[in-house]
Structure 1
Amino acid sequence: MVWGLLVLNTLGSTGAETIIPLPRSLIQMVTMGALVAAFALALAVNLRLRIRASAFVFLLTLLLVPSVISSLQLESGFGALFRCARLALFVGTLWLLSRWWDGGTTFVRHHIRMYFLVLASVAAGAVVSPGAAMPDVYGGRLVGALWPLTPPQIGQYAAVVIGLTVLLLIGGRTDRRSAAVVVVPSFVLLLLTHTRTATLGLFVGLALAIGSLVLTSAAARRFFVWAVACAAVAALGFASALQTWFLRGQSQENITSLTGRAKVWDALLAAPRTTSERLFGTGLGDKSFGGLPIDNSWLAVYHEQGLTGIVLVAAIVVVLGGVALLRPPSLSRACALFLISYCAIASYTEAGLGDASPYLLHLAVAASLLATPVAAPPLAPLAPLTPPSTPEVRRHHHVPRWARRAEMT
């Protein structure tokens, strides 16, 4: 329940127009209420405040420092302080949940189930109102018609669900039928979103994750050969369709400028900044500059939390990636590598690594997979065998053997 509430909190409040218009204030009330409820429930099941040491959550806690310092200047308004409080609750909830991080795939299953429910709502909206689910304003790309979700969000959720489910199938933690029920509709939704970043992150992340299992898993080797064969057939037989899907009707110039993102990035880097703004940023905002989305995690962190924030976020990715590479091959390590690599790739065209977002939830799952398993308590020594303490037996026990034989005779 706590993980589902955290997922609900990170869905956001902006996006396409829904079938039933939802006021943004109502959506913000629901998402923020979900975070408060998640923290309260996590505290209720962990009243003794038992936590596990986690470099990931510790670095996130340190990230609060530049966030608060820059937000106190109120350059981004009082909303910056509200976002700092949200980030603090988010990090506090992760601290409380760290007690159950044991290197297993428990949180992977929670992650898949919660985001598959989100994808199910997207599919339901497309069935109820296809026009609202694929509006012209987004170029016919799939959006959330029941909850305001953008195509990149849906693509991200679908890619993560597909990747983790495939890895569970390879690791023998689920059967083919259950995996197909999750993977097939999720892949259809991914194709309908026309999200290039999510698709690239899915394939690269799976390649790295499966590659880490090839030497120790026959199932991983079979899947790798099958995937290469399917990719070759698709490249030869559907090259034209794949090119059309990739271009999305855009010009070469538009693709080169990353759909206009490069112009925003250049303006952000060229803007004058004080020493304090360079070090700590301008405060947590809505990840935009000049009214346009930044769509880059590193530049968004630089803008809002400064160089200090960039160092801390880079440390999070480097530490998680380094620990994953040092671990022996296993399913947990493969899932962690997939999530880390996906977030690293998506950070180039999506923002979210410096604030409460799905990307931090992905990395939290990776941290839970890389946690050292809790050692089992040592077995208590066996109690020594002692003779029964009844008077008759005690007397019989101390009678010499020759006397007992004489008595029996």
Structure 2
Amino acid sequence: MTANRTPKIVGTVWGLLILNTLGSAGAKTIVPLPRSLIQMVTMGALVAAFALALAVNVQLRIRPTAYVFLLTVLLVSSVISSAHLESGFGALFRCFRLALFVCTLWLLTRWWDGGLTFVRHHIRMYFAVLGLVALGLVVSPGMALPDLYGGRLVGDLWPLTPPQIGQYAAVIIGLTVLLLLGRRTDGRSAAVVIVPSAVLLALTHTRTATLGLLLGLLLAIGSLLLTSAAARRFFTWAVVCATVAAVGFASMLQSWFLRGQSKENFSSLTGRAKVWDALLAAPRTTGEKLFGVGLGDKSFGGLPIDNSWLAVYNEQGLVGVTLVAIVLVVLGGVALLRPPSLQRACAIFLISYCAIASYTEAGLGDASPYLLHLALAASLLAAPAAATAPLGTTESLKTLEARTKPEIPRPRVPRWARGSEVT
């Protein structure tokens, strides 16, 4: 039995999921867009993604995957915590959104076969988003680099914050570098993606995305050192360039990293630590400790939490924190058990990036780009469909051999010689 080919419409579904997770809050846009309109577009994208996934997989064929199963359990836990309506009816709406998101992933698991198809969809869609950001920078540089964000790059055509842009740029840079090392793309195509994305990443001054990119690539390329000469050469040159940069451009790098902040502001992670301390000190009932207060906007006291673990603890409790931890442990464990390959390296990069970013960014407990990154990692770690398809009987094994065995043309016997055979 051969693996199912991925229909082109699956790429459209993946792109709609990415559109849904772009969010509706951010910088001011050149043309003012009502938040209700943006939410209508993003939610409509999710509904369309689910409808298309259901249409292309009307037989409801799914593949067992621990990642989506754990997300389903997290969804059930979120419904339990949101049913008390401590966060209002918006919590139930967010549960409905998460349910559509998880159901769409279940429908897409049919094509999770360890291939790189979804990696290419991921890169193309996020590169298109970055193209929109770059267009806004050209059209209105003042609004794209506002003083409100300290001169950091934002999206002024679609409301995107600097951390969002930095995240998208870092992820597609890392994946493209790995595709280049695995000879799945050429240098010119890789440069078209890497160079402008790196410029946009630098303009966002996003430290989390930069560290996630560097450490994620370090771990991913390290997993290829024993089997790839290209990875060994790249690693050597990267170490040399990093050493030269650290020695020759130390002051410039330090200035970029600090972003003009005081030592007190930097030590408190731009004020995040104060919100975290207040969240942990807030009184909670036993039920709130176990299940949280329900899905919300990832804020506490009107301020963003900016930490996935504390955001999950606040909204989904210790049960949610445990489930998210299991997700990362399971994906990381499976990646370590897989033999060295390009797919494994891409999965390691995505898992490590999400783990690093979870310290200063929220999103591991709700429909978000981080869950899509981890879904991509799960698809890369899935066993090929041909290897997992049950044969069932000896007859099916013969059928498989007959399909894969090349046909050898039989010699043609002349008509005059066909009756001369000795019986």
TM-score range, shorter chain: over 0.9
**SS across alignment from 1:316:** helix
- The answer for the alignment partner of 1:351 in structure 2 is 362
**SS across alignment from 2:184:** coil
User: One-letter code of the match for 1:380?
Assistant: A
Q: With the length of structure 2 as denominator, give the TM-score of the two structures.
A: 0.91
Counterpart pick for 1:297 among 282, 300, 308 = 308
Matched, 1:132 2:154: no
- The answer for the alignment partner of 1:152 in structure 2 is 163
Counterpart pick for 1:378 among 383, 390, 400 = 400
Counterpart pick for 2:379 among 368, 375, 379 = 368
Cα deviations by residue, 1:298-334 (Å, 9 ceiling, x for unpaired): 0000000011101111010000000001111100000
RMSD: 2.0
Question: How far apart are 1:118 and its partner, in Å?
Answer: 0.4
User: One-letter code of the match for 1:26?
Assistant: L
Question: How far apart are 1:235 and its partner, in Å?
Answer: 1.0
Matched, 1:269 2:280: yes
Matched, 1:308 2:319: yes
Question: How far apart are 1:58 and its partner, in Å?
Answer: 0.3
- The answer for the alignment partner of 1:224 in structure 2 is 235
C-alpha separation in 1, matches of 2:285 and 2:106:
34
Question: How far apart are 1:396 and its partner, in Å?
Answer: 5.6
- The answer for the alignment partner of 2:56 in structure 1 is 45
**SS across alignment from 1:372:** coil
- The answer for the alignment partner of 2:20 in structure 1 is 9
Counterpart pick for 1:95 among 103, 106, 129 = 106
C-alpha separation in 2, matches of 1:176 and 1:65:
45
Deviates more, 1:121-130 or 1:223-232: 223-232
Asked if the contact 1:66–1:306 (Cα under 8 Å) also holds between the matched residues in 2, the reply is no
Matched pairs, number: 397
Question: How far apart are 1:380 and its partner, in Å?
Answer: 2.8
C-alpha separation in 2, matches of 1:17 and 1:235:
36
Q: Residues 168-207 of structure 1: matches in 2 within 5 Å?
A: 168-207=179-218
- The answer for the alignment partner of 1:214 in structure 2 is 225
User: One-letter code of the match for 1:106?
Assistant: T
Counterpart pick for 2:351 among 340, 354, 362 = 340
- The answer for the alignment partner of 2:97 in structure 1 is 86
**SS across alignment from 2:360:** coil
- The answer for the alignment partner of 2:394 in structure 1 is none
Cα deviations by residue, 1:87-111 (Å, 9 ceiling, x for unpaired): 0000000000001011111111110
**SS across alignment from 2:385:** coil
C-alpha separation in 1, matches of 2:242 and 2:123:
25
Matched, 1:107 2:129: no
**SS across alignment from 1:378:** helix
C-alpha separation in 2, matches of 1:214 and 1:396:
65
Question: How far apart are 1:348 and its partner, in Å?
Answer: 0.3
Asked if the contact 1:165–1:182 (Cα under 8 Å) also holds between the matched residues in 2, the reply is yes
Question: How far apart are 1:14 and its partner, in Å?
Answer: 0.1
C-alpha separation in 1, matches of 2:224 and 2:419:
67
User: One-letter code of the match for 1:60?
Assistant: L
C-alpha separation in 2, matches of 1:373 and 1:286:
38
C-alpha separation in 2, matches of 1:147 and 1:363:
24
Deviates more, 1:91-100 or 1:225-234: 225-234
Q: Give the fraction of aligned pairs with identical amino acids, expressed as a percent.
A: 80
Question: How far apart are 1:233 and its partner, in Å?
Answer: 1.3
**SS across alignment from 1:148:** coil
- Unmatched segments (≥5 aa) in structure 1: 401-409
Q: With the length of structure 1 as denominator, give the TM-score of the two structures.
A: 0.94
- Unmatched segments (≥5 aa) in structure 2: 1-11, 388-398
Cα deviations by residue, 1:154-190 (Å, 9 ceiling, x for unpaired): 0000000100000000000000110001000000000
Question: How far apart are 1:394 and its partner, in Å?
Answer: 8.6
C-alpha separation in 2, matches of 1:364 and 1:192:
28
- The answer for the alignment partner of 2:390 in structure 1 is none
